[in-house]
Amino acid sequence: MVVNVIGAGLAGSEAALQLAKRGIKVNLYEMRPEKSTGAHKTDKFAEFVCSNSLGASDCSNASGLLKKEMEILGGELIKIARKCSVPAGNALAIDRELFSQTVTDRIKNDENITILNQEVLEIPDGYTIMASGPLTSESLASSIKDFTQSEHLHFFDAIAPIVEKDSINFDKAFYASRYDKGEASYINCPMNKEEYEKFYDILINAPKIELKEFEKNAKFFESCLPIEVLASRGVDTLRFGPMKPVGLIDKRTGEKNYAVVQLRQDNSAKTLYNLVGFQTNLKWGAQKELLQSIPGLENVNIIRYGVMHRNTFINSPKVLNPTLQSRARKDLFFAGQLTGTEGYTESIATGMLAGINMAKLLTGENLLVLPKETMLGALTQYISDENHDKFQPINSNWGIVTPIELPKKERKNKKLKAELISNRSVEYLSTIDM
């Protein structure tokens, strides 16, 4: 028996490895390099297109709990991510090139996986996991639309610029992690009020790349808004968002700052850094002017400019079970951002679950339905809930998990809540025989 996995991104790569390690043959389809998406830069598998961060690393954060759950359930890419990590304070960030190359090599050397570099034009017959991602090609997207009998939903995603470390002026920039958590691994560019107001004025007047007619009513995922959209909400929005100065002190001066731009390590060689929260659709000349108005980046060399792209996802509440199995076709599963889960960690997690459940289907076992007491269960239950009126992408968060009742005096203790919810999830998952 052979399973078709469509797409060798994060979800598809994870799904293929889950099947292969169980002895199941896989045909892994990836249209790159024969056909590009416009956002991908390489032909490697599991490429990180936007940020290089998988989010928080410990269970005090919802994303951290999801990572822990993947480790318990035998996730493959989370292991590789740990080995390819770069310093990022309390977050798990990776050397994106090393990570993609490691995943690619692992898949190419797996005797149970056959790689087919060709565009898939329609949903195949037979056992199939659709993990073609938010940048699914037009022909395949049309086939998915026909199968789901509904209009595709979509939102817009943007990518932040990457700059060369050697071009940063460290007479002004300094290393620190917020509240001194973990290693001082972020580069910070501080601003006073006058510098911030100059930066803001350049930003709100900067020309943007013209959207196509069908894109002009663009929707954005709230946690990945372009910096110019955030700025349009008010002069102080950025200072209370990605440029917030709290917990970041330059120990050379001891001064508090009005705003701070953070840069996160992008590769293990520590030569490239990306600007945290600076995803954008500004024209490239405007991006250069904006970045060079930041103290410490006056002569910065921009390696990759920010861009924006359209992301497509299915109306999962009408299409999927919590197992990620299609309601209309039992041999078909969906995974990754195509399902309406948002985020790298979430893509890998749904790829893992789709792979596990496809294997269970083939061996005649009951499919794994995770409860809302777990983060992955809460995610899959949320996206498959038929009661959604207007379904929008979701990422891991405490609000979708079954709450824990605490004594009245402890109800505002977020740290305790996170700890108890995480312990409950770990305890439950530890009872599952994988």
Domain assignment present for residue 277? The answer is yes
Last residue of a domain, one of 306, 328, 343: 306
Domain assignment present for residue 93? The answer is yes
Under a CB-based contact definition with an 8 Å cutoff, are residues 318 and 387 in contact?
no
Domain assignment present for residue 33? The answer is yes
Q: pLDDT tens across 36-69, in order?
A: 665 566 678 999 876 778 888 888 899 999 999 9
Look at residue 274 and give its three-state secondary structure.
strand
Alpha-carbon gap, residue 12 to 61, rounded angstroms: 25
Q: How would you classify the pairing of strands 2-6 and 25-29?
A: parallel
Residues 296 and 402 grouped into a single domain? no
Alpha-carbon gap, residue 299 to 78, rounded angstroms: 37
User: In this prediction, what percent of the chain has a pLDDT beyond 70?
Assistant: 93
Under a CB-based contact definition with an 8 Å cutoff, are residues 188 and 262 in contact?
yes
- Chain centre distance of CA 277: 13
Highest mean pLDDT among 51-60, 128-137, 320-329, 409-418: 320-329
Kindly give, in sequence order, each residue whose CB lies less than 8 Å from that of residue 396, ignoring residues fewer than 6 positions away: 62, 63, 65, 66, 343, 345, 346, 375, 378, 379
Residues 297 and 363 grouped into a single domain? no
- In single-letter form, the type of residue at position 229 comes to V
- Residue 41, token pair as written in the block: 């830069």
At residue 240, the pLDDT reads: 95
Alpha-carbon gap, residue 358 to 3, rounded angstroms: 8
356: containing domain: 2-154+311-429
Evaluate the omega torsion of the peptide bond into residue 393 and state whether it is cis, within 30 degrees of 0: no
Alpha-carbon gap, residue 254 to 256, rounded angstroms: 7
Tell me how many domains the chain contains: 2
Domain assignment present for residue 200? The answer is yes
pLDDT at 285 over 70: yes
- In single-letter form, the type of residue at position 130 comes to M
Residues 298 and 234 grouped into a single domain? yes
Residues 316 and 404 grouped into a single domain? yes
Kindly give, in sequence order, each residue whose CB lies less than 8 Å from that of residue 247, ignoring residues fewer than 6 positions away: 178, 179, 180
Residues 360 and 405 grouped into a single domain? yes
Average pLDDT over residues 228-251: 93
Kindly give, in sequence order, each residue whose CB lies less than 8 Å from that of residue 387, ignoring residues fewer than 6 positions away: 317
DSSP 121-174: -SPPSSSEEE---TT--HHHHHHHHHHHTSPPEEEEEE---EEEGGGS-TTT-E
Residues 392 and 368 grouped into a single domain? yes
Strand order in the sheet with 53-56: 53-56, 91-94, 85-86
Residues 352 and 406 grouped into a single domain? yes
pTM here is: 0.76
More confident residue, 34 or 129: 129
Nearest alpha carbon to residue 324 among 354, 366, 352: 354
Considering the chain, what is the average pLDDT of its residues? Answer: 89
Nearest alpha carbon to residue 383 among 358, 400, 368, 360: 400
Residues 231 and 338 grouped into a single domain? no
Under a CB-based contact definition with an 8 Å cutoff, are residues 302 and 294 in contact?
no
Alpha-carbon gap, residue 18 to 5, rounded angstroms: 11
Last residue of a domain, one of 285, 306, 327: 306
Average pLDDT over residues 352-376: 98
At residue 153, the pLDDT reads: 62
Under a CB-based contact definition with an 8 Å cutoff, are residues 289 and 202 in contact?
yes
At residue 39, the pLDDT reads: 58
Alpha-carbon gap, residue 141 to 312, rounded angstroms: 8
Q: pLDDT tens across 338-351, in order?
A: 998 988 999 999 99
Residues 186 and 215 grouped into a single domain? yes
Last residue of a domain, one of 306, 340, 373: 306
Look at residue 244 and give its three-state secondary structure.
coil
Domain assignment present for residue 420? The answer is yes
User: In this prediction, what percent of the chain has a pLDDT beyond 90?
Assistant: 60
Domain assignment present for residue 434? The answer is no
Q: pLDDT tens across 178-198, in order?
A: 888 777 889 999 999 999 999
Residues 298 and 369 grouped into a single domain? no
Domain assignment present for residue 24? The answer is yes
Average pLDDT over residues 299-328: 89
Specify the CATH number for the domain of residue 208: 2.40.30.260
Q: pLDDT tens across 368-412, in order?
A: 999 999 999 999 999 999 887 677 778 898 889 998 888 877 777
Domain assignment present for residue 9? The answer is yes
Helix count and strand count (H, E) for the chain: 12, 16
Residues 240 and 383 grouped into a single domain? no
Residues 242 and 290 grouped into a single domain? yes
Specify the CATH number for the domain of residue 91: 3.50.50.60
